[in-house]
Amino acid sequence: MAAVAENQGRVVVGVSGSLGSLAALRRAAAEARSSGRVLLAVLAWTPPGGETGYRRAPCPQLAKVWEDGAVQTLCTAFEEGLGGRPSDLRLQPLVVRAEAGRVLCELADRPDDLLVVGAGRRGALARLSHAGVSRHVLAHAGCPVLAVPPVELPKGVERALRRLDPADFLTAGQRTAGIGSGRESGRWSGRESGRESGRGSARSR
């Protein structure tokens, strides 16, 4: 890959584990690959009930459980969306305890950055759940924003696909050879930025 100037923009993508965010992750990876830019994959989370509820009854042990869950969600998103952590990209995964819309705009703070988000589904409930993040991003982003719609699947197919294991796609010969017998060794299992250290992980945005 050609050398990239240090001041070149990045591709910043919001990840939550939903089908919409997986589509956004794939598109962001393609954009980063074609332009030679860094891919910053961000999973933002807040405690169940929000920070106000957490301050009423703080529990660091629960916060750590939530944080670990968010880290695992991001790792799983790499597997489901990209087939594992791509070796041909300069990837910076980041799990941060913050409101998704706000932190995505803060991170994509360069005019030549590209902010990629999932557009969400078309149903009324889905529009409500994604409205806060998308509205904030569109109103406050200081860089171009690319909204990627999810792949439309027939009713019931999404649930069936979620139950599949990667080994289900192997041939008999590959199973005999032991391919796919375990998860990717040495995969990312923590935070790569100090700004979210000491924080927990829960409901991903």
Residue with tokens 């990239």: 4
In angstroms, the CA 5 to CA 159 distance is 43
Which residue has better confidence, 123 or 116? 116
Which residue has better confidence, 43 or 164? 43
pLDDT tens-digit map of 155-193: 666 667 667 666 666 666 655 655 444 444 334 434 444
How many alpha carbons fall within 13 Å on the CB side of residue 148? 24
Cα 138 to chain centroid, rounded: 19
In angstroms, the CA 17 to CA 23 distance is 10
Give the lowest-confidence range in 8-12, 111-115, 121-125, 167-171. Answer: 121-125
Q: Which two tokens stand for residue 153?
A: 């699947």
Bridge-based pairing of strands 11-14 and 91-97 is: unpaired
Confidence of residue 89 (pLDDT cuts 50, 70, 90): very high
Q: Which pLDDT belongs to residue 20?
A: 85
pTM of the model: 0.68
pLDDT tens-digit map of 60-84: 999 999 999 999 999 999 999 999 9
Q: Which pLDDT belongs to residue 45?
A: 95
In angstroms, the CA 76 to CA 88 distance is 19
Which residue has better confidence, 149 or 5? 149
How many alpha carbons fall within 13 Å on the CB side of residue 130? 23
CB atoms within 10 A of CB 13: 30
CB neighbour class for 1 (10 Å; exposed up to 12, middle 13-18, buried from 19): exposed
The arithmetic mean of pLDDT across residues 4-19, rounded, is 80
Q: What is the CA radius of gyration of the chain?
A: 18
Q: What domains lie within the chain, and their CATH numbers?
A: 11-177 (3.40.50.620)
Q: Which pLDDT belongs to residue 157?
A: 65
- Nearest Cα residue to 22 out of 82, 64, 71, 67: 82
> Coil, strand or helix: which one is 88?
coil
> Coil, strand or helix: which one is 90?
coil
- Nearest Cα residue to 106 out of 1, 3, 14, 4: 14
- Nearest Cα residue to 28 out of 7, 46, 42, 45: 42
User: Is residue 35 pLDDT above 60, yes or no?
Assistant: yes
